[in-house]
A and B are shown apart, each in its own frame.
Chain A
Amino acid sequence: MATSLADEALVQRSDPKPTPEQLEFFETQVRPLLVKRCHKCHSTESGPENGSLILDTAAGIAAGGSRGSMFHKEMPDKGLLLQVITYRDADLQMPPDGKLAAAELAILERWVRDGAALPEYKAEPRPKLSKVDWVEGRKFWSFQPLRPTPLPMISDPQWVARPLDTFVLAKLSAHKLTPNPPADRAQLLRRMTFDLTGLPPTPDELDAFVADNSAQSVERLVDRLLASHKTYGRLLSTLTVLHYAIQFRRGESIMAKCTNETTTSKVSPLMVRLDAESKRSLTDAAELRRISVSDYVRTVTVAQARREVASARDQTIQLSPDEQLAFWQALQASAKLSPAQKRLGAIMRGQR
């Protein structure tokens, strides 16, 4: 604890001076309770992350947190402190891991109803706790107003079906790449199903889609996949309750909390360390899709993880295109045996 209540200067106090009995009650009953049940999240040591509420200084207690004062002078029971510790507010209940015992509640109720006496303290304006640079933050690309962007020069205007394609073709040309031909029906179904569900289409779905030549077939396919309870919808709802949080802390790590899909009580922290190159790639990839890094991890990285888990169940080994090519080349390699392989071959053939 950075500051103890006993050390605070007795300088200012607008409320009536507390009696010795009130102060004794605070020091012997209330303060130990705050230390035991609250300081882990609300102290100068834990920092301002939890509602900017600091409970290990009298000034902090008097000032309250980001929701204002904890006390209601005229109607003590309506004050925020008693609201949250009695779990009357469904959205804000403290402590979050379980209600205080009846005896503990009684101590705080008595203290609040008796005027919430505190040792005298120096009233100071609440420290500015936010470190966000709002001026700099407003320059972020997603906060910029929409404005027309001139189309880049391209080599093959015939390829462009809509203005957005111009940018795609320009970027491909810049990297000396040529566009793939349009995907056939089976390929299109496979890609869309993998993208939206993380699983391949079934043979029946393939037959139905290939046979459906109507102009709305793709639109219907997307609607069906988005509406799928077992796959995309479930993934989205799961992620919504996961509170999948991503932070780049000191620019080097991702912190994520994953919850088991079926049991909300199992919460396991997952720390992924990223090197600078990986982090940059992740940021660039998210930028290409015009989505946040969090959304990129949710929709691409997690989808890929689901795909690999599903594949493992089917004994299907997933390889990236580069890995597939390397594997294919290795499969074509001539069967020249190493001395070790010759020895193993001899054992296989029954030689001792």
Chain B
Amino acid sequence: MSGVVLPPGFSLEPLQRTQPRRHFDCGQSEVNDWLHTKALQHQDKRLSATKVLLAGDSAIAGFYTLATGQVDFGDLPSELARKLPRRALPVAILAWLGVSVAHQGEKLGDLLLAQSLRDCYEAGQTFAFVAVILDCVDDRAKSFYQRWDFAELPGNPYRLFLNSQTLAAMMRS
């Protein structure tokens, strides 16, 4: 198995300068702005990696951006600290995901989410992390992720997470 099965005529590629990223419109200005102006810069600096879903006409139908991060666990009361790790915990972050308005309703968001989690799983075979964190830009994005039963990160209502055991189980079953 090489990955998520895409609809005929669609392909998934790493973000490149030649792709028409400035024409992408998912209806959410913050997400558009990320792809138009920042995603490539961050990728060039190795801060994040973006993959774009190209439609048959080479337009960008969707994209997602993955990054790494950490959850700070350093300042716990001593009673708790004995049981818990005393270091920042590594996490994978699904930082951005968007589907073009021209292709919304075609379930491409589900495919992009599945492929991004698959990428995380495969990376996790080499570089360990404890969870995938999903950043939600708004309530709509949050409800999209919550359809798949991701839990809220405590104290962060717009961050959901999936622990690595669950991720592995999803790839196994």
Contacts and interface: CB of A to CB of B under 8 A. Distances in A.
Interface of A: 180-181, 190-191, 194, 200, 311, 314-328, 330-331, 333-335, 337-338, 340-342, 344-345, 347-352
Contact of B75 (A191, A322, A328, A333): A191
A316 B71 CA distance: 6
A219 B145 CA distance: 50
A6 B111 CA distance: 77
A181 B70 CA distance: 27
A323 B115 CA distance: 29
Interface string B48-88: 00000000000000000001111111111110100010001
B130 A344 contact: no
A324 B172 CA distance: 28
A285 to B, nearest CB: 17
B170 A317 contact: no
Given A345-B169, A348-B115, A180 B77 contact: yes
A324 B170 contact: no
B112 to A, nearest CB: 10
Given A190-B75, A323-B155, A327-B154, A347 B114 contact: yes
Contacts of B172: 345
A52 to B, nearest CB: 47
A315 B67 contact: yes
Contacts of A334: 165
A327 B71 contact: yes
B70 to A, nearest CB: 5
A317 B91 contact: yes
B121 A319 contact: no
Given A347-B114, A350-B5, A340 B149 contact: yes
Given A181-B78, A335-B165, A337-B166, A344 B70 contact: no
Interface of B: 1-5, 67-78, 80, 84, 88-89, 91, 93, 110-111, 113-115, 117-118, 121, 130-131, 133, 147-149, 151, 153-156, 159, 161, 163-166, 168-173
B142 to A, nearest CB: 15
B61 to A, nearest CB: 17
B169 A337 contact: yes
Given A325-B84, A348-B117, A350-B4, A341 B71 contact: no
A286 to B, nearest CB: 22
A320 B171 contact: no
Contacts of B147: 340
B41 to A, nearest CB: 15
A318 B72 contact: yes
Contacts of B154: 319, 322-324, 326-327, 330
A325 to B, nearest CB: 6
Contacts of A180: 77-78
Nearest to A320: B155
A191 B75 CA distance: 8
23 contacts: A194-B75, A311-B72, A315-B70, A316-B69, A316-B72, A317-B70, A317-B72, A317-B153, A317-B159, A319-B154, A319-B156, A323-B153, A323-B155, A325-B76, A330-B151, A330-B163, A331-B131, A331-B163, A340-B149, A344-B114, A344-B117, A345-B172, A350-B2
A323 B89 CA distance: 14
A317 B77 contact: no
Contact of B130 (A190, A319, A331, A349): A331
Contacts of B117: 344, 348
A200 B75 CA distance: 11
Nearest to B73: A324
A326 B152 CA distance: 11
Given A317-B71, A321-B77, A347-B111, A335 B163 contact: yes
Contacts of B149: 338, 340-341
B69 A345 contact: no
A350 B71 contact: no
A45 B133 CA distance: 54
A267 to B, nearest CB: 26
A180 B81 CA distance: 11
A318 B76 CA distance: 12
B111 to A, nearest CB: 7
A342 B148 CA distance: 9
